[in-house]
Structure 1
Amino acid sequence: MHHLFIAFIVFCCVFASAVLGLWLHAMLPGHHLSEDSIGVVKLTTGLIATIAALVLGLLISSAKNSLDTMNAELVRAAASIVQLDRVLAKYGPETQEIREALKQHVGASIQILSSGDPAQVARLGNTATLRRVEGLQHKLEELSPHNAMQRQLQASAIGIADEVLAVRRLALLQSVGALPMALLVMLVVWLSIIFGAFGMFGPFNVTVVAAFFLGAVSTSGAIFLILEMNTPLDGLITVSLEPMRDAFAMLGK
């Protein structure tokens, strides 16, 4: 919800700047609205608009890459978890306890991720949770293989478990938004200047006000998408947990 609040603030700043420009248009002396003055302001506004468009495009692209990376890591983790379970099943009945613990851990992780609560998601990276995951690795290392095939399966299981833990840590790092607040503030300032300049040299009528309203909605919507995609584990725009749920359904069989 805080992303919606930030987007609303952006909308208010941008739209208020446009309305302020319309008010200044009526208050400024005539010589401030000459063709030469308008030409200079248009050139300056065009420069700022170009910079803002480039930064906005880069931010959207970066946020989309963050969302795609998180989705790919979840798919990779789901595949590795199923592979680990199958390797343990091939090892023999000695691994039944490890397989049950693995399924319980995956089920708990899915519940936390599907909650959409940042405080709950943060629990996946706390010390207690990491110790439980590392405990599964220790149990794998404590297995006593009786033949060459079991030794090979044990080594494979330990390698897969290390990969799952590495993917988990990467996913937790990706879940934290990386958008610098100073850059966001500067972008809002640029957009406010642009809309203020548009309002300063535009006529005051319903059509113009409606256009400014839609423009403010569009820009604040873009900011909202950037913020949402930068936090892919919570909010309105999140990664799909279907691969993890499919993997959970296959565990223990």
Structure 2
Amino acid sequence: MTIENEEQLQRLRAAGRVCSVARDAMAAALRPGITTAELDRIGATIIEAAGARSAPALTYDFPGTTCISVNEEVAHGIPGERVIAAGDLVNIDVSVELGGVFADTGASFLVGAGDPRLARLVRDGKRATWEGIRAVRSGSELAGIGDAIGAFARKHGYSLLTNLASHGVGDSLHDEPREIPTWPDRSERRRIADGLVFTVEPFLSLGAREAIDAPQHDGFTLHARPRAATVQFEHTVVATPRGAVVVTL
């Protein structure tokens, strides 16, 4: 999607607002003893009340409203009877369609105090995402996003998953441009068009390099390889000459 007028921007902002409200409500409810299905119902209630629809359910027939990934799961976890425990690393990914417009957001959380290494990973996953967002500017190279995130990861001793990328969003959940690298990629030569809508969503890890199908082969859930703690933060942004407009804060 490319934003061409204020009406389009406001529609995108409305979809982004639903995503962020659901994400934050689910995060506030995170506690030991809650199941991922219960968390999902919190998000579903907010999404339905807003007149929106779950984008993964609509697009891919995903068996839940939101994606909730715990510990060894790095993305697309299916909500169910899994019980959250103290010290768990939980990723909440919310994407919706509202009035024909799609928006997408995600964030990772450490439940309770937990391992200090995981607390730093969560903190730095958010910082890495903002390094990428600050590189967004119409006319700039898309590769600058991955370069900025990669420099942050190298400086702080992290790895990045290199087979889960950012993507265009707006007219559909996964829109053009496809596969925007959030890692350094010398082959990336595209430039950012003015008004372009896309996500910035690096996967920062304590050693993993890629995501693979989960052992249960449910068609959705992905695990890290090599196995290592991994976090994801994601925002939907609009490129302007002055930088990124973030619609999922």
Shorter-chain TM-score category?
A: under 0.3
Q: How does the TM-score come out when normalised to structure 1?
A: 0.24
Normalized per residue, the structure richer in strand is 2
Whose helix proportion is higher, 1 or 2? 1
Larger radius of gyration: 1
Q: Which has the higher contact order (CA 8 A, sep 6+)?
A: 1
